[in-house]
Amino acid sequence: MLNVKGLYHSYSKDEHYAVQDMTFQVEKGEIFGFLGPSGAGKSTTQSILFGLLELQRGEVSIDGMSVKKLSDDFFNMIGVSFESPNVYKNLTGLENLKFYSKMFNVATEKPEELLKEVGLGKDMNKKASQYSKGMLQRLVFARSMINNPKIWFLDEPTSGLDPETASRIKAIIKRKKDQGTTIFLTTHNMNIADELCDRVAFVNDGKIILIDTPQKLKLRYGERSVKVEFMDQEKLRTEFISLVDKQGQSQLQKLVETGRIVTMHSQEASLEEIFISVVGRGLI
Amino acid sequence: MNRIISIFRRDFKSSVREYILLYMMIGPLLLALGFSMIIPNTESASLQFALEASLDQSIVDEFNKYGSVFLFESKEEIINRVNGMDDIAGVMSEKEGSLFIILEGNETHDTKVVPQKIIREINGVNDASISYKIRDIGVKRSPISIIGSAALMITAIILGGIIIGFNIIEEKESKTIQALNVTMMNKMEFIIGKSLLGFVLPVAQVYIILWLLKIDDVNKLMILVIVLSGTLTASVLGFLIGVISDNQIAGVMNMKMIYLATAASIVGAMVIPESSQFFLYILPTYWIFVGFRDIVSNTATWHQIIINLSWILGMTFILFMLIKKRIIRGLT
């Protein structure tokens, strides 16, 4: 669905690249996480993918169409949910969506339905200037669905949302994936990425450091051990027990059999820990 | 076309909900309304007489030689008319047939004295102490009315462009322009859609201004030609304000600069001798103002209007070519 090959971009049009030698593919119906700290080149890459920035060097195609020559079909096919709440504050939520729906040549979703879906049904006739940050975020999210895109670019879609609303947004993303929408998710929230993404790419200093499924990354970079809290002579003890060597396996088996285990947690690495270990810096 | 109309409708809706833009939209009309109360109306540049309808036709004909005559059935109607805002002398007859004049008291000298002279003429009284030469020099409108209406019309046009600029600033501030750039809307549709308000609004405002000022004996087609060419200039200036201003405060500052150039055109055309006005020729606003001034004073010819039009379009084109790249870059 999305093919990127040898992508470079320089704002100063010299050898100081904001993005360099990026190559990756995203399959149809896949949720692809693009993870990295601020200034890593995520937004630059994304802006090139949906045509906001000119393609300087490399190849980018979406559904076989090159972004070098942007056609009407291209824009009918993509949806973009920006991180910034870029809506018309003097218009109501409903007016914002109705206006935006006129910008496409394909059958569009009903604005009222979309607003209800993201929990703005009651507030659809309020001016956007009266919306909270979270409501604006949901309005931008709803707007990006108006043309029922084949490929959907989401930039921090749950940023600033309360857990319940974030859960609602994640459910919509999962449903869209099930319907065959390809999703390009840019975030620095590793929990969201872990929960939603089929594959993730770690980006730093304009380069892709690694690409894989969250599960494989955890297995590759995590320790195969468990953290066990158990009762030992009426005292609570904590031990890390290896799942690989025989001594550890037998120790764990004994603890299970004696029924002294209070808690037990597998010690696979989180995506954030993997990122820090691979890149050498955090995500902020 | 659908997208262009949508952009226009959005801008209109947004503008009427934004106080600063709403004031810009209705400002010229409020000024015109106020202006209509303080300037002499179109008729009062010539003399006006309110006469009883029962007077002899010969008397009416005599007054008609000197100004506009309005006939009224009763004395009360004449008194009411004289009490109106403009200058008009009432002429009524007494029982024995002699004529007398009623005035409000604040009329101009001519309105007070000329009816006396006419009545003396009718009565065959030749008062040597009064000597009058009355000559029609073709001026039907006061200079205040001409300059004021032309200035109001050019204000409406320039404000139309400034509204375009402020709508672009809104798009930039809220980054909604980014969201539009990932739709099918292309730059030309955006530019035309944004410009429409700057065309439609001044056209409507200019004709309303003329109506409010009771200026109805002007060539409406000439007015339209100058308005449309002027809106082109204003639109280019509006886009320039929009792309160079990062926020509304910067927009207000740039608006003042634009209006300074407009004011210079108006003042220059009024106070500088015509032979020295050549250095104002590069300002399209000068040609817009001169065009309106000549049309309102009924001295404009199509030949002159075409010259004005050529200067306006030529200078606007040069201005556009100079800032074209900046505008396109600013809209990305």
Question: In this model, does residue B44 exceed pLDDT 70?
Answer: no
Are residues A187 and A243 located together in one domain of the fold?
A: no
What is the per-residue pLDDT for B130? 54
Task: Assess if residue A204 is contained within a domain.
Answer: yes
A74, A88, A96, A126: which to substitute to probe chain B, counting the most B Cβ within 10 Å? Answer: A88
Are residues A169 and A191 located together in one domain of the fold?
A: yes
What is the per-residue pLDDT for B58? 87
For the stretch A34-63, pLDDT in tens is 988 888 888 889 888 888 888 888 888 888
Task: Assess if residue A13 is contained within a domain.
Answer: yes
Question: In this model, does residue B41 exceed pLDDT 70?
Answer: no
Least Cα separation, residue B24 to chain A (angstroms)? 17
pLDDT band at B226 (very low <50, low <70, confident <90, very high): very high
Instruction: Inform me whether the C-beta atom of residue A236 falls under 8 Å from chain B C-beta atoms.
Output: no
Q: Are B50 and B171 in contact (CB under 8 A)?
A: no
What is the per-residue pLDDT for B139? 55
Are residues A44 and A75 located together in one domain of the fold?
A: yes
A83, A90, A130: which to substitute to probe chain B, counting the most B Cβ within 10 Å? Answer: A90
Mean pLDDT, chain A, as a whole number?
85
Residue A8's CATH number? 3.40.50.300
Are residues A185 and A235 located together in one domain of the fold?
A: no
Over range A203-222, report the average pLDDT.
83
For the stretch A245-255, pLDDT in tens is 788 888 888 88
Question: In this model, does residue B314 exceed pLDDT 70?
Answer: yes
- Report residue B291 as tokens: 């065009």
Task: Assess if residue A112 is contained within a domain.
Answer: no
Helices (H), chain B: 2-16, 19-38, 57-64, 75-82, 109-123, 143-174, 176-181, 187-212, 220-244, 248-271, 284-296, 302-330
Instruction: Inform me whether the C-beta atom of residue A91 falls under 8 Å from chain B C-beta atoms.
Output: yes
Q: What DSSP string runs through A142-190?
A: HHTTTT--SEEEEESTTTT--HHHHHHHHHHHHHHHHTT-EEEEEES-H
CA–CA distance, B116 with B136 (Å, rounded to integer): 19
Task: Assess if residue A256 is contained within a domain.
Answer: yes
What is the per-residue pLDDT for B28? 86
Place of tokens 């404000």: B159
Are residues A263 and A149 located together in one domain of the fold?
A: no
Range of the domain at A33: 2-82+144-218
What is the per-residue pLDDT for A281? 63
Chains A, B: CB contacts under 8 A, how many? 61
Task: Assess if residue A99 is contained within a domain.
Answer: no
Mean pLDDT, chain B, as a whole number?
83
Least Cα separation, residue A277 to chain B (angstroms)? 36
Are residues A17 and A69 located together in one domain of the fold?
A: yes
DSSP class of residue B277 equals G
Question: In this model, does residue B111 exceed pLDDT 70?
Answer: yes
Task: Assess if residue A123 is contained within a domain.
Answer: no
For the stretch A152-198, pLDDT in tens is 999 888 887 788 888 888 899 999 989 989 999 998 888 888 888 88
Are residues A246 and A195 located together in one domain of the fold?
A: no
CATH 3.40.190 fits B47-123, yes or no: yes
Least Cα separation, residue A53 to chain B (angstroms)? 9
What is the per-residue pLDDT for B39? 67
Q: Are B56 and B119 in contact (CB under 8 A)?
A: no
What is the per-residue pLDDT for A189? 80
Are residues A17 and A45 located together in one domain of the fold?
A: yes
Are residues A8 and A74 located together in one domain of the fold?
A: yes
What is the per-residue pLDDT for B279? 81
Domain count, chain A: 2
Task: Assess if residue A40 is contained within a domain.
Answer: yes
Are residues A248 and A183 located together in one domain of the fold?
A: no
CA–CA distance, A24 with B125 (Å, rounded to integer): 108
A59, exposed or middle or buried, with CB in 10 Å at 0-12, 13-18, 19+?
A: middle
pLDDT above 70 covers what percent of chain A? Answer: 97
CA–CA distance, A184 with A116 (Å, rounded to integer): 24
Are residues A152 and A250 located together in one domain of the fold?
A: no
Least Cα separation, residue B165 to chain A (angstroms)? 16
The partner residue sitting opposite A86, judged by closest CB among B3, B13, B176, is B176
Contacts of residue A54, Cβ cutoff 8 Å, sequence gap at least 6: A48
Are residues A73 and A12 located together in one domain of the fold?
A: yes
What is the per-residue pLDDT for B133? 57
Task: Assess if residue A130 is contained within a domain.
Answer: no
CATH 3.40.190 domain range(s) in chain B = 47-123
What is the per-residue pLDDT for B135? 56
Contacts of residue A267, Cβ cutoff 8 Å, sequence gap at least 6: A222, A223, A224, A225, A226, A227, A240
Looking at beta carbons, which residues of chain B come within 8 Å of A80? 179, 182
